[in-house]
Amino acid sequence: MIDLHCHVLPGIDDGPPTIEAALDLARDAQRDGITTIAATPHIHPEYPNNDAALVWARIVALQPRLDAAGIAVKLVPGGEVDALHALVLADEELRALHLGGGPWLLLECPLSSIAAPAFIPTAKALAARGHKLLLAHPERSPVFLPHPERLDELVNQHGMLAQVTAGSLSGQFGRTVREVAHRMLETRSVHVAASDGHGAHRPATIARELEQAGVEPHLTAWLAHDVPNAILTGAQPPAAPEPRRPRRRLFGR
């Protein structure tokens, strides 16, 4: 599996504070079947030192430690980019933050209602500048929680893709987020499942959460390998698979 959203780099945001904690996070990922992690620290004014150069420098420092510890996980660069901050960054810097050096930028859907009104026009403006956008955790954002159809517009009319946090599907963020995440999955308006791993309180695991959520194995492969691999390589993302068993009614309703 490929994890396209993980705060694995130590000491630069709200992810693991130390190298030892980063190694523990990567061990959890390996045990879960993850072989590639996109290191996606927050690119946000709250962390003013975080930029593409720092991300690469920290990967260069951490990868040998993973190798020496026998943790068979490959790190590739990226960043979870705040939308309003992205508007003021140069396109060259944004391209350097693309996931794995490919054409896709991981854009953070805001978790604050204050930032929500500006998100959709900002995302459209960034797409117009030539960046392909993977939208991080829309199921947890006040932009989309009350209006999931807004995500359909960005996906169907503007060519964006969306990444669901695996734990959202298993209920880690509450019932409402779980319901919205499952509905987005059923309508195939999300295309990638990622851990959004931060540390011991939120490990870098995907398969465990999707299994708990009852996601079919072939759909797990699409969410956690097939589409992420296409994003990293710049290939055309594969079409969503059809369900192989009747859809069950969610939450007993």
Task: Tell whether 239 is covered by a domain.
Answer: no
Whether the predicted model's global pTM rises above the 0.85 cut: yes
Q: What mean pLDDT is predicted for residues 73-101?
A: 98
Containing domain of residue 172, as a range? 2-234
Task: Tell whether 253 is covered by a domain.
Answer: no
The set of residues, in sequence order, having a beta carbon less than 8 Å from that of 99 and lying 6+ positions away, is: 4, 38, 40, 76, 77, 78, 105, 106, 134, 231, 232
In contact, 211 and 183? CB cutoff 8 Å: no
**How far is it, in rounded angstroms, from Cα 119 to Cα 83?**
7
Share of the chain above pLDDT 70, in %: 96
Task: Tell whether 241 is covered by a domain.
Answer: no
Q: What is the pLDDT of residues 193-242, one digit of tens each?
A: 999 999 988 999 999 999 999 999 999 999 999 999 999 999 999 999 98
- Number of domain units in the chain: 1
CATH of residue 75's domain is 3.20.20.140
Task: Tell whether 218 is covered by a domain.
Answer: yes
Sign of CA dihedral 114, 117, 122, 124: positive
Task: Tell whether 115 is covered by a domain.
Answer: yes
Task: Tell whether 244 is covered by a domain.
Answer: no
Task: Tell whether 105 is covered by a domain.
Answer: yes
Report helix angle 19-31 to 52-68, nearest 10: 70
Structure tokens at 19: 């190298």
Q: What is the pLDDT of residues 166-182, one digit of tens each?
A: 999 999 999 999 999 99
